[in-house]
Chain A
Amino acid sequence: MSVAQAHAFDAETRLANRKRAKAGRTVIFKIKRCDGPGKPDRWESFKVPTEPGSNVISCLKWIAAHPVTTDGQRTSPVVWDSGCLEEVCGACTMVINGRVRQSCSCLIDEYAPEEGDTLTLEPMSKFPVIRDLWVDRERMFQALRRVKAWVPIDGTYNLGPGPKESPEQQQTRYALSECMSCGCCLDACPQYLKEEDPKDWDTAFIGAAAISQVRLFNEHETGKRLKADRLEAMMGPGGVSDCGNAQNCVKVCPKGIPLTESIAAVGRSTTIHAFTRFFRGK
């Protein structure tokens, strides 16, 4: 499924599926597995009983307790990453039926309503696989260091409240601040390429998530103090101009973060920054 198609698989279809889902059915999980870096991929299938409210994680747990494939082969439990189980930590991201998303909020009733329906699970495509469905997203955290995604406070001493803020401004920042570093926007982005070697991370395209964080911190009264540093990073190789404006990112972001707006805003600031720098002769 292409991103556009996947996107069309919208809330209504899911709701309709949920309504017609057969109770007590079993579904097939087809899982792309890999024992570790440099090891070959392989596919394995599992037949898993469901109950109402089952999601991909509860099924993976069932597989962990009963690691036998549809061919009756005993195998090792599948390895995956998860945390909160309520779509707020970002850990459990994987590619499900071709679309990148969180597995904890992926309800079986919505995706496989009939007896014997298949769900395909693959690891994210832009990050190195550690094992099976578990990938290493350290590069995302490096990107946050690269753009200095923090408010440079003077220290933790008691120095009174922060700047006052209008409710509108708060709502704007809050929406941006919900980014849980899940990486969906990067996995779906044609410009964001897999880079295994950390040496390349600081020059490869940084991706929508970090660009949006630049906007977030540049909007904060104190955060602004590092605005120039952040925009410099955005002007360098792998910065905001590498975005091809394909807009896949915003379609897959589970938090509905206005990524294309952020990219446009940061693009504008970067241009202004470049001009002023030019005229100051720096």
Chain B
Amino acid sequence: MAEQRVIVVGGGLAGLAASVRIAESGVPVDLFSMVPVKRSHSVCAQGGINACNEVARQQGYSEYEHFDETVYGGDFLADQHPVLEMANWAPKIIDLLDRMGVPFNRTAEGFRDLRLFGGSLFKRTHFSGATTGQQLLYALDEQTRRYESEGKVRKYEFWEFLWPVTEGEGDEKRCVGIVAQDMRTMQIRAFRGAAVVMATGGNGLIFGKSTNSVICTGGAAARCYQEGAWYGNPEMIQVHPTAIPGADKLRLMSESARGEGGRVWVPRKKGDTRRPADIPESERYYFLEERYPAYGNIVPRDIATREIFDICVNEGMGVDGQNQVYLDLTHRDPDYLTRKLGGIMEIYEKFVGEDPRFTPMKIFPAVHYSMGGLWTTYTAGDYEPSEPRPGHKSGSSVPVDAQPGHGMTIGAPNNMMSNIKGLYAFGEVNFAYHGANRLGANALLSCIFDGLCNGVSVVNYIRDADTPGVDAVDQGVYDRFVKREQDKHDRLVASASNDSGDESRNPYLIAKELGDEMTAASTVVKTGARLEQALRKVAELRERYQKVELGDNAGWTNQSLSFARATGDMLILAEAMLKAGLLREESRGAHYRKDFPERNDERFYKTSIARYNPDTRSSEIEFAPVRGPLVKPRARTYGKTDSKKTDAKPAAQTAAAS
């Protein structure tokens, strides 16, 4: 049999961790990325990465509590076995990153320093200044470069993944490679791969402006979806409470700002025009601290976002009468802030022109993260409680220790494999870990965990005697897929010559209208009627997209083409998000339906699974029971004092972040 290679699409944390692990096992990797991997979106992550640690442990924390917190934070929609396994691996992952040379902040004695983060009362977040994602990405980039030098990883940077190549139908469908395009020469060709790992990240661009990087269109996931991969919980999109509004991007001010003591407030008096420093304590409304005495400013994101939205949009108490509140760090020592949060302090200063060490920042929520993603399966581990456990109390004994293999069976070939054989989904593009809301600093963890732990599964899958080699697959299969992509490409390039001057066919404007509509209809507050309206809008945009016209007919480095192609894919994913959001008639985590403000476990303690029907060219949604829960769902209140729900008042249907 010829040498079996693995294809990894995406060079963020998930893709690089997978490449390193797979190459280390002796299997050569072809790594594809639209950008040099060192510039992947993971570089933006600021705040940190969670893991149980010795200090927290001696205060009563445990891996099990990290697991329980994550499931509770996600409003019980996560797949619990993988979460348990991830929490158990977390301390080992930090150790490994430490060995790779990540400059984690240190205590005076030289241990790794820790900070608070949302959804936990323990310091369990490891960090490297306020550019943790950058530092982790660089460490994995360096290890990947090492394998590249040894010839075990072959990089295809500035290559765009266009489609997975599959053969067989239904349950037998198997992924045997990909079609990709060189973004410079525009050459389109197929690559054989015994397995394909999708690690292509999130899809913030569907909402126009977000905290994401410019390539986070979700296009790659949408292409797998159209080829038959299922998509889990598409309606679960996280809106981060604290970002700086901007013309091109909504720049994140990390949750670590609150973890390091940042306080969120507005003047008690509506329309107070005094400078913030002139407003005395007693005339400031620290609404998170008052409403949630236990967690205060570090309530989970969905809650903080809705409260800020409520204060601004419903109560009209936003600073200067606008949609913004103060995020205040001025009571902390400026040097301390530079050391712990320098990266984000600089971003604020650079883009707003004010120094947050001395003036409170003005922030508002922004679309940030996709909990939903390609649906995947796994083989459960050996922890089998006789019935789902109640919530865990800090300091009480844990029902299971932190040895590997309790949550998932390590190395089982199907771990994080999609419903298409041999097609895996790692990192943000995966749906399993974060349920209806992701806790801060858990994403970097899930990305690296996927790569390191489930990379082994990929290797085992291709080494499995039952997996037929891909060298036997008929070349005609690949040629067919290449031809389809080439035809699509040629049609798009040819459209540039129409030059009708009809603005409604401009891909950039179609994408902008999509972003505006999605932000208005499907972010902080949703209603059935508004979602239906958005579905009609998306249908209209899809109609217009049929006649899309490119502004560039170049046969070399045609960026408009790549963007226009992704726009078509974003429209398809947007429809799935809206449909699932419409059918989920309850409120859970980030998904808040004003017309159904309560969680409804009876009907919706379920994963929504979207399937693409190529005949009708539309999404079909099914609700499937959440697999084998290990802890029982319980009310998710975070100790809110005020029982008067925010939804008691009419929420305006304005954009969350425009």
Asked if chains A and B come from one complex, the reply is: yes
Question: A: which residues have CB within 8 A of B?
Answer: 15, 18, 35-36, 51-55, 57-58, 61, 64-65, 67, 74, 76-77, 79, 82-91, 104-105, 107, 130-131, 134, 137-138, 141, 144-145, 148-153, 155-156, 158-162, 164-167, 169-171, 173-174, 177-178, 180-181, 217, 220, 222-223
The answer to whether B145 and A55 have CB atoms under 8 Å apart is: no
5 extra interface residue pairs, beta carbon distance < 8 Å, beyond A57-B248, A153-B143: A36-B556, A53-B351, A64-B560, A104-B248, A161-B94
Question: B: which residues have CB within 8 A of A?
Answer: 20-21, 24, 35-36, 38-41, 43-44, 92, 94-96, 98-101, 103-108, 110-112, 128-129, 131, 134-135, 138-139, 142-143, 145-146, 148-149, 157, 184, 213-215, 245-249, 251, 339, 343, 347, 350-351, 353, 452, 499, 506, 508-509, 512, 551-554, 556-557, 559-560
User: Contacts A61-B248, A87-B347 given: A150-B146 contact, CB under 8 Å?
Assistant: yes
User: Contacts A85-B213, A88-B134 given: A170-B104 contact, CB under 8 Å?
Assistant: yes
CA distance A134 to B557 in the complex (A): 9
Please list 18 pairs of residues, one from A and one from B, whose beta carbons are closer than 8 Å in the complex, sorted by A's number: A51-B247, A53-B246, A54-B247, A65-B508, A77-B560, A84-B43, A87-B347, A88-B131, A88-B343, A130-B184, A145-B149, A161-B98, A164-B110, A165-B110, A166-B110, A181-B39, A217-B101, A223-B101
How far is the CB of B346 from the nearest CB of chain A, in Å?
A: 8
CA distance A43 to B552 in the complex (A): 18
CA distance A105 to B213 in the complex (A): 14
CA distance A228 to B128 in the complex (A): 28
By a CB distance below 8 angstroms, the chain A residues around B343 are 88
How far is the CB of B584 from the nearest CB of chain A, in Å?
A: 32
How far is the CB of B568 from the nearest CB of chain A, in Å?
A: 17
CB-CB nearest in chain A for B352: A53
Q: Which residue of A89, A150, A177 contacts B143 across the interface (Cβ within 8 Å)?
A: A150
CA distance A35 to B245 in the complex (A): 35
CA distance A256 to B99 in the complex (A): 26
The answer to whether B146 and A152 have CB atoms under 8 Å apart is: yes
By a CB distance below 8 angstroms, the chain A residues around B148 are 145
CA distance A67 to B550 in the complex (A): 11
By a CB distance below 8 angstroms, the chain B residues around A169 are 106
The answer to whether B145 and A162 have CB atoms under 8 Å apart is: no
Q: Which 8 A-B pairs have the closest CB atoms?
A: A162-B98, A150-B142, A58-B248, A131-B557, A65-B508, A151-B101, A164-B110, A162-B99
User: Contacts A65-B508, A82-B214, A83-B215 given: A53-B101 contact, CB under 8 Å?
Assistant: no
User: Contacts A145-B148, A177-B103 given: A105-B98 contact, CB under 8 Å?
Assistant: no
By a CB distance below 8 angstroms, the chain B residues around A57 are 248
Q: Which residue of A137, A174, A181 contacts B129 across the interface (Cβ within 8 Å)?
A: A174
How far is the CB of B325 from the nearest CB of chain A, in Å?
A: 18
CA distance A222 to B499 in the complex (A): 60
The answer to whether A84 and B556 have CB atoms under 8 Å apart is: no
The answer to whether A161 and B103 have CB atoms under 8 Å apart is: no
The answer to whether B39 and A91 have CB atoms under 8 Å apart is: yes
Q: Which residue of A36, A74, A107 contacts B499 across the interface (Cβ within 8 Å)?
A: A74
How far is the CB of A13 from the nearest CB of chain B, in Å?
A: 13
By a CB distance below 8 angstroms, the chain B residues around A156 are 20-21, 24, 96, 452
User: Contacts A18-B353, A61-B248, A222-B99 given: A84-B44 contact, CB under 8 Å?
Assistant: yes
How far is the CB of A19 from the nearest CB of chain B, in Å?
A: 9
By a CB distance below 8 angstroms, the chain A residues around B213 are 83-85, 89
The answer to whether B38 and A181 have CB atoms under 8 Å apart is: yes
CA distance A220 to B139 in the complex (A): 13
CA distance A133 to B335 in the complex (A): 38
How far is the CB of B210 from the nearest CB of chain A, in Å?
A: 10
How far is the CB of B107 from the nearest CB of chain A, in Å?
A: 7
Most B CB contacts (10 A, CB to CB) among A67, A87, A89 go to A89
Q: Which residue of A89, A90, A177 contacts B135 across the interface (Cβ within 8 Å)?
A: A177
The answer to whether B128 and A141 have CB atoms under 8 Å apart is: no
CA distance A77 to B512 in the complex (A): 17
By a CB distance below 8 angstroms, the chain B residues around A79 are 557, 559
CA distance A151 to B97 in the complex (A): 11
Q: Which residue of A15, A67, A145 contacts B145 across the interface (Cβ within 8 Å)?
A: A145
By a CB distance below 8 angstroms, the chain A residues around B499 are 74
CA distance A67 to B112 in the complex (A): 51
By a CB distance below 8 angstroms, the chain A residues around B248 are 54-55, 57-58, 61, 85, 104
The answer to whether B145 and A150 have CB atoms under 8 Å apart is: yes
The answer to whether A162 and B95 have CB atoms under 8 Å apart is: yes
How far is the CB of A110 from the nearest CB of chain B, in Å?
A: 8
